[in-house]
Amino acid sequence: MNGDEPSGDSLIFTRVTTLWAAHRGEPFPDGLRWIDAPSGDPVPALDFYAAGCVNAYLAGQGVLDPRRHLILTECATDLEAILPALTGRDATYVARLIRMAELITQPPPCPGTISLSADPLA
């Protein structure tokens, strides 16, 4: 990197910020209100927990404490399990939550190899 290029971390933070703005602009889909994940947690609760973690990540300027990291990882795992059964707006809403969780919890690839432009939720 030449110093003028953003780091992978700043690209991830920007992407999460963009996804979060889109997510906050949508009401919770009615079709998700009565679905439970394999863990037994209802999807509205998973949405609430994940939202709190994303808010903490954004408020921390890209830093998430270990407890919230674990919560967000577990929420994403539960949401991934139900995603194949969802369609339309329900699927889009859940996929966006999963994508934010992935971006926040997974370490970025080596510098110079990150590419968020191919993100299907762009």
Q: Token pair of 22, please?
A: 């889109």
The pLDDT of 69-92, averaged and rounded, is 97
pLDDT at 9: 84
Specify the pTM.
0.82
HEC sequence for the chain: CCCCCCCHHHHHHHHHHHHHHHHHCCCCCHHHCCCECCCCCEHHHHHHHHHHHHHHHHHCCCCCCHHHHHHHHHHHHHHHHHHHHCCHHHHHHHHHHHHHHHHHHCCCCCCCCCCCCCCCCC
The pLDDT of 90-111, averaged and rounded, is 89
Q: Confidence band (pLDDT; 50, 70, 90) for 7?
A: low
The pLDDT of 82-105, averaged and rounded, is 97
* C-beta neighbour count of 22 within 10 angstroms: 13
Report the candidate in 104, 84, 85 with the shortest Cα–Cα distance to residue 23.
104
pLDDT digits (tens, 9 = 90+) for 34-73: 999 999 999 999 999 999 999 999 999 999 999 999 999 9
pLDDT digits (tens, 9 = 90+) for 9-30: 889 999 999 999 999 999 999 9
| Domain parsing of the chain, residue ranges | 8-27+41-105
